[in-house]
Amino acid sequence: MKKFKFPMRYVPISATILVFFVVYLIGIISFDNFGSPKVFLDLFIDNAYLGIAVIGTALVILTGGIDLSVGSIIAFTSILIAKMIESGCNALWAIALALVIGILFGMLQGWLIHCFSLPPFLVTLAGMFFIRGCGFIVSEKSIPIKNDRVFDFIQNNLTVTLGKGLHLRFIVILYIVVLVIAIVFSQRTRAGRSIYAIGDNELAATLMGIPVGRTKILTYTIAGFCSALAGVVYAIYLKAGNPLNCVGLEMDAIAAVVIGGTLLTGGVGYVFGSLFGVLVLGLIQTLIIFDGRINSWWTRIIVGLLVLAFIFMQNLITKISKSKSKSH
Amino acid sequence: MNKTSNKFRHLVWPLVSLALLLLFNALFTKNFFKIEIKKQDSAQAVQALSGTAESPRPGTSWITPENYEAAGDSAEAAANAASENAGAAANAASDAAGQQQAVPEKKDGNGVSIFGYYLYGTPIDILNQGSKVMVLAIGMTLVIATGGIDISVGAVMAIAGAIAALLISMLDAGNCPGASMGPAFYWIIPVAAALVLSSIAGFWNGMLVAGFGIQPMVATLVLMVAGRGVAQLITDGQIITFDNPGLVFLCNGHALFLPFSVWIVVTMYVIAGLLTRKTAFGLFIESVGNNERASRYAGIEARRIKWLTYVICGFCAGVAGLLAASNIKCADSNNAGLNLELDAILATVIGGTSMAGGRFFLSGSLVGAILIQTLTTTMYMKNVSPAIVQVPKAMVVIIVCLLQSPVFRAKVLSVFASKAAKGGVQ
């Protein structure tokens, strides 16, 4: 008789979910009102842009690559939209242009990485500098988005009211929709499965006839799109654009992916986990804000330690599963 | 191809780029190559370049105090030059404040310049400003040569600057053992503490990478994320300023005609060069980078070698952190060394060191660092906003990477070859 065994590959994501609930529980025990649904919803509202960016990063990391241009693309997109609206352009056109630029930029990065086998780290690093500088070319100062019909419409009409004082804002709905699409894409489509195959062993994937180049470029394109979309969400969230925004956000995104149970070497992990990675980051910040006594730089240290803990756990799991496959 | 040209082949593209950049400056930037010999005491007699009316530049990246004196002690000019200099707007204020303090101190003759004479001009300043990245690049080259990477150096720089500033402020206040040595000597304590602490940070990275076998990018990510938090913790979230002559001398003083920081770079380069080329250490690093398992079977302590390179990298980051803090006379945990890990990696890669490990060129890394700094300084002199400088920087990086990519070369060559073949048929 076969004994039920918890599959090894679900361990990291279960640990992430566990960490989330433990942190949440600590919050509820320590502070009044921490468990109120408003706090929980705010968690989504404040981190929707990060969540969308993390989806792209997670897919890229699953292929075994890395994308460092996330934060810069968000800043560039938000300032571009703000500038275009300020100069009298329709907001929808501005958003469309921003998304197209994000897609093209991601595609360019993927093309450079694949066609000239340049290290992803370097290409996206240069991309990060490049697009950040482009943001400063658009405007060196923060630009507010005022009295725009589209943005007002999004805020006033596209909000679902769940109860008294509880509003599901458009950006949260957008995040959840993108997340669901990304989960289905990574688990149920041919391209999505190819991403896992490439991340696991690129040479083997090539030999199996998987279109490695196409998939890799597609992944970086998706990442570019996600970052640009995150920039749009950021512009909606702040109602302003600033080329200085989101410096170092790429590291938060990578941390969220790692905490979300994805192996940085690629091939192992779930896009779904990134949701909890983002929520854990948000929860830690909320906890520190609630406390009010702890200095905010503890966030960095705690996040660093969490990342370390997850890395150790994943290493352990990799070792165990390797020794198991040897004994068979 | 003969042996010599092989030996220096990695330097060709970086040097060509650097030469092109310098040529551009020689043609289009006024007074770029003007180097003057200055005497410490007769500083007022010599008019500084940036102060003269015919100079098209609003301010260049100098650190020498004569600048401000010649500019009529104008605080505005100082702030202007400092903001051009610092690159980051956030640093500008502290920079200006720091350098204004520098003027009276140097007049007092606190042993700031040895021999009284030193060279003074834009190329010298490029060397001085590039010293941080050059020092970082030395350590980074060794780490990358083992097939690793250290993305925590920026955070380690912040930690080193923070502990040095904290200790010097404690010593100034007299509540730390060693204060009896007097301000002329006790700056050694914070310097030593910063170097020890940064070496420990490197040891931690090495432990994660070599000891626990975590992939380098991930292992150093931990310290990169947490390190700035630690630095904030050390300084209690404050920006600590200091004016200890010894500590300030590191990046603002002169010795033997050149800025002292240049001599630090030279010393570290010579030591690293001797260590890697005159002992077996360099060979071991390359063999570990090429094939860790094979070198372990060959009897090389692969783990220990890797571990050691991370400690060296941490140490280098500590030196760079001290230089950065000394330059602006304060420890700013948020901005010290921000994005410098990227510059260091770029310098290393531009210099011909392969990211896959297995071969490294210390001289190439230094040339790469100088190339990056020359590019930055050129932009500033052309009145490009510091924020926009990143755009051409990124393009140069991609172009140099493409030129060094074997795949790109093969593709370009094949295009030329097919064209030549077609031409032959016709």
Subunit contact B215:A265, Cβ cutoff 8 A: yes
Q: Which domain holds residue A199?
A: 8-320
Q: What ipTM describes this predicted complex?
A: 0.81
- Compute the nearest-CA separation of B24 from chain A (Å): 22
Whether A139 has its CB under 8 Å from any CB of chain B: the answer is no
Subunit contact B402:A264, Cβ cutoff 8 A: no
- B contact test, residue of A264, A300, A315, A317 with most B CBs within 10 A: A300
pLDDT per residue over B129-182, tens digit each?
899 999 999 999 999 999 898 989 999 999 999 999 999 888 888 777 777 777
Mean pLDDT of all residues in chain A?
88
Out of B233, B393, B407, name the one closest to residue A129 (CB): B393
Burial class for B170, CB neighbours closer than 10 Å (0-12, 13-18, 19+): middle
What residue spans define the domains of chain B?
Answer: 24-60+111-388
In a domain, A325, yes or no: no
Helix (H) or strand (E) holding A162: strand A160-163
Q: How many degrees, rounded to 5, is the angle at CA B130 between CA B399 and CA B380? A: 70
Whether A264 has its CB under 8 Å from any CB of chain B: the answer is yes
Most confident of B73-87, B164-178, B299-313: B299-313
- Compute the nearest-CA separation of A170 from chain B (Å): 31
Cβ atoms within 10 Å, residue A165: 10
Residue A126: closest CA among chain B residues belongs to which residue? B394
Out of A129, A298, A311, name the one closest to residue B394 (CB): A129
Out of B219, B224, B390, name the one closest to residue A133 (CB): B390
Average pLDDT over every residue of B241-256: 83
**Better pLDDT: B78 or B279:** B279
Cβ atoms within 10 Å, residue A153: 12
Subunit contact B389:A133, Cβ cutoff 8 A: yes
Residues of A in contact with B230 (CB under 8 A): 301
Pick the CATH number of B24-60+111-388 from 1.20.120, 3.30.1380, 3.40.50, 1.10.3470: 1.10.3470
How far apart are the C-alpha atoms of A95 and A107, rounded to whole Å?
18
SS3 for A252-307 is HHHHHHHHCCCCCCCCCCCHHHHHHHHHHHHHHHHHHHHHCCCCCCHHHHHHHHHH
Subunit contact A243:B405, Cβ cutoff 8 A: no
Out of B217, B232, B387, name the one closest to residue A140 (CB): B387
Subunit contact B218:A311, Cβ cutoff 8 A: yes
Percentage of residues in chain B having pLDDT higher than 90? 28
Average pLDDT over every residue of A256-266: 87
Q: How many degrees, rounded to 5, is the angle at CA B403 between CA B400 and CA B409? A: 165
Residue B232: closest CA among chain A residues belongs to which residue? A297
- Alpha carbon distance, N-terminus to C-terminus of chain B: 33
Three-state secondary structure call for residue A36: coil
pLDDT recorded at residue A2: 58
- Compute the nearest-CA separation of B279 from chain A (Å): 31
B184: nearest Cα among B132, B109, B256: B109
Whether A127 has its CB under 8 Å from any CB of chain B: the answer is yes
Percentage of residues in chain B having pLDDT higher than 70? 78
SS3 for chain B is CCHHHHHCHHHHHHHHHHHHHHHHHHHHCCCCCCCEEEECHHHHHCCCHHHCCCCCCCCCCCCCCHHHHHCCCCHHHHHHHHHHHHCCHHHHHHHHHHHHHHHHHHHCCCCCECCCEEEECHHHHHHHHHHHHHHHHHHHHHHHHCCCCCCCHHHHHHHHHHHHHHHHHHHHHCCCCCHHHCCCCCCHHHHHHHHHHHHHHHHHHHHHHHHCCCCHHHHHHHHHHHHHHHHHHHHCCCCEECCCHHHHHHHHCEECEEEHHHHHHHHHHHHHHHHHHCCCHHHHHHHHHHCHHHHHHCCCCHHHHHHHHHHHHHHHHHHHHHHHHHHHCEECCCCCCCCHHHHHHHHHHHCCCCCCCCCCCHHHHHHHHHHHHHHHHHHHHCCCCCCCCHHHHHHHHHHHHHHHCHHHHHHHHHHHHHHHHHHHHC
Out of A116, A136, A255, name the one closest to residue B388 (CB): A136
Residue A140: closest CA among chain B residues belongs to which residue? B387
Subunit contact B212:A254, Cβ cutoff 8 A: no
How far apart are the C-alpha atoms of B225 and B233, rounded to whole Å?
14
pLDDT recorded at residue A54: 96
Average pLDDT over every residue of A152-171: 81
Subunit contact A251:B224, Cβ cutoff 8 A: yes
pLDDT per residue over B288-302, tens digit each?
999 989 999 999 989
Three-state secondary structure call for residue A181: helix
Task: Judge whether residue B82 has pLDDT over 60.
Answer: no
pLDDT recorded at residue A326: 66
Q: In CATH, what number is assigned to the domain containing residue A300?
A: 1.10.3470
- Compute the nearest-CA separation of B105 from chain A (Å): 35
| Tokens linked to A232 | 């749009």
Residue B88: closest CA among chain A residues belongs to which residue? A244
Cβ atoms within 10 Å, residue B426: 4
A274: nearest Cα among A294, A292, A254, A293: A254
B70: nearest Cα among B83, B85, B84, B55: B55
Confidence of residue B321 (pLDDT cuts 50, 70, 90): very high
pLDDT per residue over B346-393, tens digit each?
899 888 888 778 889 999 999 999 998 998 888 888 888 877 888 887
Confidence of residue B115 (pLDDT cuts 50, 70, 90): low
How far apart are the C-alpha atoms of B353 and A122, rounded to whole Å?
13
Task: Judge whether residue B42 has pLDDT over 50.
Answer: no
Confidence of residue B271 (pLDDT cuts 50, 70, 90): very high
pLDDT recorded at residue A216: 95
- Long-range contacts formed by B294-297: CB under 8 A, 24+ apart: none
pLDDT recorded at residue A208: 92
In a domain, A132, yes or no: yes
Out of A126, A136, A312, name the one closest to residue B394 (CB): A126
Domain count along chain A: 1
- Compute the nearest-CA separation of B346 from chain A (Å): 8
